[in-house]
Amino acid sequence: MTDTNPDPTIVEVDLEAGEAEKSFLEGKTTAVLAYNGTVPGPLIEANVGDTLIVHFKNSLSEETTIHWHGIRLPNDMDGAPAVQRPIAAGDAFTYQFKLKDAGFFWFHPHVMEEEQIRKGLFGVIRVRGQDEPQADDEKIVVLGDALLKEDGSFDDEVDDDMIMLGREGNVLLVNGRTMPTLELEPGALTRLRIVNVANGRFFNLALPGHAFRVIGTDGGLIPKPYDAERLLVAPGERYDVLLIGQGEPGAEIVLTNEAYARGHDTGEAAPMPLATVRIGEGPALSGRTLPDSGPAIERLPGGAADTTITFDERYIQGVLKFLVDGNTYPDVPPIEVERGSTHVFDLKNDAEMDHPFHLHGFFFQVLARDGVPVADDALANKDTLILPQLSTTTVVARFDEPGDWMYHCHILEHAERGMMGELVVSP
């Protein structure tokens, strides 16, 4: 994406949402929504401490906004309905904020997001720090899906089963393509920046003969990297991983989405192919090693929970509802905290399925799961987290930016139907 500002500490770009066409199925054309005409939208590159200026134009036939998912920023730049009036069709708005953290983030609408995201409005931001991990190659992996008819058009029909689990497509996508080929140089240390932009699908990644060395999550690098044979990525989550390409030159390995039991009789499906991973030709590189340590993270103080937030789902008078503390947004009472304060929350999931919890504007750290403390070597900064069914996860966050901030389930069908609330940070 072209940076139009000559100042090396300012990244200034033009971004436009509009209608476009894309081919997900061979020989078929799909009418999509796109940023700058592409799905995914353009990659925004920046460094920690840069100021990002985005001149946004809405060329859709409907209103929209941009939410900068995972980025700590001023409240009036968050793009959420609690703080920004939707940008009308044909109107423009300039977003401007300083990038405080290194990591991999994404942007998407927070108006009619259930429809606008699934039809293509999403893009990614890579913010580099001073001490980036060494790697021979780096690839971006945007995981998603699309529910398409035989003619390639989007299937807009939705029923309670789709709403309950979140809409899952019949076509799996990696970087907006079906079964792309990802090249791995043999023996090379490859870094993957992974994000799940799907409405409701969880991705449980597996690559035969390889483990994923997780070096970072939503909020950047973690102190203690770990290996994952299966990497579970919920909607909205990001992972930063390293691996070393193993196999004979020219060998092809299939990256798959493995079954995952997230409730309501899921978990019995066969593995689904996502991409072909091809080991490159030529002699293998040697001497590459995976890191065992990362940068330190400040541990926030724990303690007893100040507040309990309860997610649940049920039929009320024949209508499927997704609830926070027994209410649907906007009737969920706001949580009030003071600027600069640190608070501990019990995130209680009373539903019989997993829900990904997302907090705007801040990172949090997991203290315990069902009362069992999380080990110090699992410390990470998160903004999106899987709440397992019928469980309680205890987290802590520091609130250093005033305003009205949203939290919600990141299964978009659930958020749109009430599983959302506001957290008010007083100045």
**How far is Cα 166 from Cα 207, in angstroms, rounded to an integer?**
26
Q: Are residues 31 and 107 in the same domain?
A: yes
Residues 74 and 107 in one domain: yes
**Same structural domain, 121 and 150:** no
**Given pLDDT bands bounded at 50, 70 and 90, which one contains residue 424?**
very high
Domains of the chain: total: 3
Q: Are residues 110 and 157 in the same domain?
A: no
pLDDT digits (tens, 9 = 90+) for 402-422: 999 999 999 999 999 999 999
**Distance between CA atoms of residues 424 and 200, nearest Å:** 27
| pLDDT at res. 399 | 98
Report residue 68's pLDDT band, with 50, 70 and 90 as the boundaries. very high
Indicate the residue among 128, 146, 175 that finishes a domain. 128
Query: Which CA distances in Å does 73 have to 12, 51, 90, 201, 400?
Result: 16, 11, 26, 28, 10
Query: Domain range holding 200?
Result: 137-279
Instruction: Identify whether 341 is part of a domain.
Output: yes
Q: Is the pLDDT of residue 1 over 90?
A: no
Do the domain assignments include residue 218?
A: yes
% of the chain exceeding 90 in pLDDT: 94
pLDDT band at 360 (very low <50, low <70, confident <90, very high): very high
Both 254 and 377 in one domain: the answer is no
In SS3 terms, 322-368 reads as EEECCECCCCCCCEEEECCEEEEEEEEECCCECEEEEECCCCEEEEE
Element (H, E) at 312: strand 307-316
Domain end (from 128, 145, 179):
128
Instruction: Encode pLDDT of 296-307 as tens digits.
Output: 999 999 999 999
- Cα separation, 302 vs 308, whole angstroms: 15
- Amino acid, single-letter form, for residue 416: E
Q: Higher confidence at residue 161 or residue 123?
A: 123
Q: Stretch 366-382: mean pLDDT, rounded?
A: 96
Q: Do 176 and 86 belong together in one domain?
A: no
Residue 269 sits in the same domain as residue 192: yes
Same domain, 215 and 342: no
Q: What is the mean pLDDT of residues 194-222?
A: 97
Domain-ending residue, one of 101, 128, 155: 128
In a domain, 407, yes or no: yes
DSSP 76: G
Does residue 102 sit in the same domain as residue 146?
no
CATH code, domain carrying 250: 2.60.40.420
Tokens of 152: 């390639």
Asked if residue 38 has pLDDT above 90, the reply is yes
Same domain, 66 and 156: no
- Computed over every residue of the chain, the mean pLDDT equals 96
Residue 266: per-residue pLDDT: 87
State residue 269's pLDDT score.
83
pLDDT at 267: 80
18-30 confidence digits (pLDDT tens): 999 999 999 999 9
Which of these, 152, 238, 233, 248, lies nearest to 194 by C-alpha position?
238
pTM above 0.85, yes or no: yes
Q: Are residues 179 and 90 in the same domain?
A: no
**Length reported for the chain:** 427
Single out the residue of 125, 124, 114 nearest to residue 62, CA to CA.
Answer: 114
123 and 142 together in one domain: no
Better-predicted residue by pLDDT, 282 or 54 = 54
Determine the pLDDT at residue 282.
84
CA distances in angstroms from 21 to 152, 264, 301, 414, listed in the order given: 11, 35, 50, 28
Q: Does 317 map to a domain?
A: yes
Residue 284 lies in a domain: no
Helix, strand, coil shares of the chain, percent, nearest 5, are 5, 45, 50
CA distance linking residue 393 with residue 300, whole number of Å: 16
Which helix H or strand E contains 161, and what residues bound it?
A: helix 160-165
**pLDDT mean over 176-186:** 96
- 98 in a domain, yes or no? yes
Residue 290 falls inside a structural domain? no
- Spatial separation of the C-alpha atoms in residues 308 and 56, rounded to whole Å: 37
In a domain, 259, yes or no: yes
- Indicate the residue type of 101: D
The pLDDT-based confidence of 98 (bands split at 50, 70, 90) is very high
pLDDT digits (tens, 9 = 90+) for 235-275: 999 999 999 999 999 999 999 999 999 999 888 788 999 99
